[in-house]
Structure 1
Amino acid sequence: MTQPFDAAMQAFAPALPLAVGLSGGADSTALLRACALRWPGQVRAIHVHHGLQAAADGFEQHCIALCDALKVPLTVRRLDARHAPGQSPEDAARQARYQALASVALAPSVEGAIQSIALAQHADDQAETLLLALSRGAGVAGLAAMPARWERAGLAWHRPLLQVAGADVRHWLCAQGQAWVEDPTNVDERFTRNRIRARLLPVLDAAFPFFRDTFARSAANAAQAAELLHELAQQDLALVGVPPQIKALQGLSRARQANVLRHWLRLGHHTTPAAAQLGELLDQIQACTTRGHQIRIKVGRGLVVRSGTGLDWSSP
């Protein structure tokens, strides 16, 4: 009987050459080993050294030894992933990691241009992401969790293990006799994701043994809904104009106003309004029936203001 990890890898068909994001943990170690065995000479590894903890040098040494054994070229990128004021440490590290992976993959190389990047998040990670989104009151875009494939920076990005439980990844590694390193921060319950992993997932496993599959279906349904909302927002933005005209906005339902305004702010101004900010803006748009009615509302990192017959954006 084909095991879940083997089945997932058999279904994985990326464009080659392929780069694998390698942290040194069980998941990325398994992914790199499986890819290197399947496509010898077509796989490279990228290790991002965040410099955030004392154990980081040990991760790097494991990655070097693993890649030497597998005869896989390794690039180590060191960076400063400290977070800015108001930014979560996890978000800062994640953004820095993606930027580093893309910059290495796009750099000229004697081995040929990398076509795809594979990341090792699995079904437990997907469930944690969905639970985090629920805890924050996320909309369908957040509930879509992590996509299995997407395009970014001219590269195809893949998460081939999203249908595989973390325990199945480790079972495969043990059967291979392959060692990995454990990140000590993964058991630090000061981080919300770690509390979910330690406290909620075991309870869900006991109560709903197939929760990983059902959560994945919910995330896929949310992703489809988010795609439809994006398409509708594009159509409505063409209708209301850029910047949006107040009269045209008033011709839409409140839900479509909210959808197109989020799209305008995200697309044109790289900001996302809080629910209360967006609600206040929608109330002001509804009440805007005279020429003298002013709108000046803090949204995201700036202000949405009335300018003539439409809305405009003001950034400090």
Structure 2
Amino acid sequence: MTLRPLAVACSGGRDSIALLHATWRAARVLADDTGQLHPIHALHVHHGLSRHADDWLAHCADQCARWRDKGADLQFHARHLRLAPKSGDSVEALARSGRYAALADMARTSGCDTVLLAHHREDQAETFLLQALRGAGAAGLASMPASIWRDGICWQRPWLRHPRAAIEAYVAQHGLQHIEDDSNVDPRYARNRLRLQLWPALTAAFPQAPQVLGDAARHAHDAAECLQALAEIDLGAVAVEDGLDAAAAVALGGARLRNLLHLWLWRTAGEPPRASWLDRLSRELPVCVDARWLMPGSGELRLWRGVLRWGAMTPQATPAQSLALPDLHAERIWLLPTFGGVLYIERVTQGGIALDLLRRLTARPRSGGEQFQRAVGTPPRALKKQYQQAGVPAEGRGGPLLFSGEQLVFVPGLGLDARVVAPAGQPQATLRWHAHHTGDSTDQGTG
């Protein structure tokens, strides 16, 4: 039997050095029983944020070498991060995401699918408090899971229910040498302020706080799993082909609607939405008929004809001032990349444009002042008024206006101008515009 290698994240601090030491000692005990030594890989991330970072890397490498001399099947790996925080970026968040990405990559390279992390009970309690102070929901309050698979790696925290004091006692018992991170006393970081200023007063007043807050995190984890299961059920009931049935979603009620939207948007947009944004959407969605919401980041939500859809915003094409079209009377499809879409031409027996007019059309961007006549016997009116009367949403008003000379012929979202509709019996065709928008397959304007 071949034992799978196991990885341990090792920063060089007290907790991770203790975990690495305990892991290779446990592997040695296992080898005494099985005759096989379990391969261990120590993974170190050099963040480049401290002037002592090189010393920490060297300390971890030397420690692993000394333990190898004592018979440990222990390999050391290090990865340098190139963090470039911009103005307004959270250095903590940037370092955390970079660290986990580097650990995962080193684990895969080493053939490991499990990484041990040295977080303990006080770490969990601090995380719970920080999440609560940020206004997190159940998923955030669940804090750090004891075990979770992510991106093909199983992240395990075997000491999550053990107190810091037990680790300190273990370090003292075995005389382990570790480094002290000078950034741990930097008050710029939220966790440090909590640990240095709030935590001593909290534990003095409530000695049981670490255990109680850890229990609260586990309760929140259970609640988050239940909410996830409920959202899955609701999503199955209200999902349509390219979005959500808005009326069915609203009928779930405010709390379930927010829970559903959280899951759907996370999966659709690739990131969890902010709680404040979900609150706004759950208030406005029940009273809107057609609407558009710009999401933080690069996406937008569109409510149109009872369906809520998400789409990535794409840069709007800069249309030409005027584009002479070729003879379209024999065409079925004409691509207009300058205007970001496709023009469809379909033969009809009535309600269309005379084929002769298709020989001399020009495409123009909307410039203002255009008059459109929706039906015979009605007066021409400004496009804005016509769009409003027809209920065309803002995202449905893009694309080229087609002219024959100075006569407006076709408007995306509205169709053909009544003044150019050919008499019945005359060869004619209808026009349809399709805009290229991610997540939106609707056609704009048939005539």
| TM-score relative to the length of structure 1 | 0.88
1:187 alignment counterpart: 185
Q: Given the alignment of the two structures, is residue 88 of structure 1 paired with residue 76 of structure 2, yes or no?
A: no
Compared CA separation, residues 276 and 178, structure 1 to 2 (3 A): closer
1:174 alignment counterpart: 172
Q: Which is worse superposed, 165-174 or 50-59?
A: 165-174
1:251 alignment counterpart: 251
Calculate percent identity across the aligned residue pairs: 38
Q: CA deviation at 1:169?
A: 1.3
Query: Partners in 2 of 1:181 and 1:281 — Cα distance?
Result: 48
Q: Given the alignment of the two structures, is residue 50 of structure 1 paired with residue 52 of structure 2, yes or no?
A: no
Contact 1:250-1:285 at 8 Å conserved across structures: yes
2:17 alignment counterpart: 29
Match of 2:309 among 298, 309, 312: 312
Query: Partners in 2 of 1:114 and 1:250 — Cα distance?
Result: 45
For 1:32-181, list aligned pairs within 5 A.
32-40=20-28, 41-42=37-38, 43-71=40-68, 72-84=74-86, 86-107=88-109, 109=110, 113-181=111-179
Structure 2 alignment gaps of length 5 or more: 29-36, 69-73, 314-447
Instruction: Give the counterpart letter for 2:296 in structure 1.
Output: G
Query: Partners in 2 of 1:59 and 1:101 — Cα distance?
Result: 16
Q: CA deviation at 1:205?
A: 1.7
Say which structure, 1 or 2, has more relative contact order (CA 8 Å, 6+ apart): 1
Contact 1:278-1:299 at 8 Å conserved across structures: no
Compared CA separation, residues 16 and 170, structure 1 to 2 (3 A): farther
Compared CA separation, residues 86 and 270, structure 1 to 2 (3 A): farther
Query: Partners in 2 of 1:232 and 1:115 — Cα distance?
Result: 30
Q: Given the alignment of the two structures, is residue 269 of structure 1 paired with residue 269 of structure 2, yes or no?
A: yes
Instruction: Give the counterpart letter for 1:76 in structure 2.
Output: A
**How many positions carry a matched residue from both structures?**
294
Contact 2:290-2:305 at 8 Å conserved across structures: no
Query: Partners in 2 of 1:86 and 1:199 — Cα distance?
Result: 24
Contact 1:82-1:89 at 8 Å conserved across structures: no
Contact 2:234-2:260 at 8 Å conserved across structures: yes
Q: CA deviation at 1:275?
A: 3.0
Query: Partners in 1 of 2:171 and 2:97 — Cα distance?
Result: 28
Compared CA separation, residues 18 and 143, structure 1 to 2 (3 A): same
Contact 1:124-1:212 at 8 Å conserved across structures: yes
| Higher share in helix | 1
Query: Partners in 2 of 1:16 and 1:33 — Cα distance?
Result: 18
Contact 1:20-1:118 at 8 Å conserved across structures: yes
User: How big is each residue's C-alpha offset from its partner over 1:257-296, in whole Å with a ceiling of 9 and x where there is no partner?
Assistant: 11000111111112333333222211222113xxxx3222
Query: Partners in 1 of 2:276 and 2:145 — Cα distance?
Result: 28
Q: Which is worse superposed, 166-175 or 44-53?
A: 166-175
1:6 alignment counterpart: none
Instruction: Give the counterpart letter for 1:22 in structure 2.
Output: C
Query: Partners in 2 of 1:312 and 1:217 — Cα distance?
Result: 39
Contact 1:272-1:300 at 8 Å conserved across structures: no
Instruction: Give the counterpart letter for 1:299 in structure 2.
Output: M
Contact 1:82-1:93 at 8 Å conserved across structures: no
Instruction: Give the counterpart letter for 2:48 in structure 1.
Output: G
Q: CA deviation at 1:142?
A: 0.7
Query: Partners in 1 of 2:213 and 2:91 — Cα distance?
Result: 26
Q: Given the alignment of the two structures, is residue 299 of structure 1 paired with residue 295 of structure 2, yes or no?
A: yes
Query: Partners in 1 of 2:83 and 2:144 — Cα distance?
Result: 22
1:7 alignment counterpart: none
| Higher share in strand | 2
Contact 2:148-2:155 at 8 Å conserved across structures: yes
User: How big is each residue's C-alpha offset from its partner over 1:132-156, in whole Å with a ceiling of 9 and x where there is no partner?
Assistant: 0111111111110101111112222
Query: Partners in 2 of 1:273 and 1:157 — Cα distance?
Result: 24
**Any idea what SS the aligned residue of 1:244 has?**
strand
Query: Partners in 1 of 2:300 and 2:276 — Cα distance?
Result: 14
Q: CA deviation at 1:165?
A: 2.2
Query: Partners in 2 of 1:86 and 1:304 — Cα distance?
Result: 26
Query: Partners in 1 of 2:114 and 2:244 — Cα distance?
Result: 38
Between structure 1 and structure 2, the one with the greater Rg is 2
Q: CA deviation at 1:84?
A: 4.8
Q: CA deviation at 1:213?
A: 1.1
Q: Given the alignment of the two structures, is residue 278 of structure 1 paired with residue 278 of structure 2, yes or no?
A: yes
Query: Partners in 1 of 2:246 and 2:121 — Cα distance?
Result: 44
1:12 alignment counterpart: none
Instruction: Give the counterpart letter for 1:176 in structure 2.
Output: H
**Any idea what SS the aligned residue of 1:45 has?**
strand
